[in-house]
Structure 1
């Protein structure tokens, strides 16, 4: 792995490059994550491939890049990476959770940059009642994750142990998850905290809710072959998954370029960060 830079109009975006092959995958992570979340997927790619895992603005090494945030802004950054590393050739694109929505927006706006799109447990419009308060919904769904971003921890090891106890991670805890958590660390000993910007998470989370209809339009208008891989269990390791079966079936019927596949025995996080599901993702990214 090496750290690389993506040139964007207002600065540079940090990315992690896994591999040295000429065939390129660009990857976009979840709402409080970083490019390190794709380490297991990168390891499953053939040797003639490289994976460029972005730290989206407000996260990881890109945490000081300014807003505004939102899926359209992240999509612009994804397209910049595709142009820079594709060097005139289209690349494969993958996004997980929030990153799936940003990747969807990128593929919908600039289809000529991408050979295929893989959505991992995200990308479908979230069903939100018309009269719902987006801020209240955000607090109910992402409240604990946002609260963590302002917490401090006594040491890096304490921060690792905090993640190790998460109900969706504990049973499958592995070295990739440890590397992911350590990459997120900043601050002095005694006041360790996450590198993720709370402002970015709040703005992005709100965009996912209020912009739900726009993601439906993106799906229907897709011109890029697209695979949705979804998990049977959700953010806390329990059924149902983030994308219920009726929602998946509805958008499979509506979007002509969308194919879907349930990845067995995983949750919203382990679909990306454990060996078996990571191999499924890699297989779809490199399919001819």
Structure 2
């Protein structure tokens, strides 16, 4: 495994992390504690030290499964979680975002993760007006002073949100999480240069474009109900998959997994500290980890 400095946090993060939205039950299946434990223990064996989660991946469910897997080795992991949403059911969330809400969410995350501190506590796709809320900023500063969080980050949406990126330093935000992959290079225009200028750590999410860059799918694929990709316009999916086929034919070296190459492609940009693909199995995790060898 290789490691990079996560911007001004000075944390040394593995270039491959583990994204954990799937453990909340919104990717078409539920995960047992044993499955998550096996995946994260293997991740540790491979040198991966970064986990990204959120309070709304299930009702703190992903966090609870992570806590159950790593609490005995907490010191070996850098954990990033988020605030600003509450899970009510499949793709059904509300947005409790007052200072009082944030305090409650933080305490819930600490309990679920079985830890007394969170390494990176991230705004979760907040509106710009909410990002600017001085009451929320005050709550976060008090949590830092109490040692409950070490660093503040922002998981931005959309992925060209320059308001939150450019305003990061003033808000004591040290990391930016952003959708970035071979099919969506929008952050290269303004967001990534702004991160470099401010020395912000960059976490690239959705690096496999929700699996489209895995190389497993062809135009016409029908994603079943219960899959987050179900219901998206078929013409858009088919257009993206035709582009994936072209990329695989013209850019991916022979003998290299498309998924592994796609993760390594994200890491070529000097602003990116870590990519955070999800994985449903130990085998997928190992394919992801192999991207560090291509970087």
TM-score bracket for this pair, using the shorter chain length: 0.3 to 0.5
Alignment TM-score, normalising by the size of structure 1 = 0.35
Alignment TM-score, normalising by the size of structure 2 = 0.34
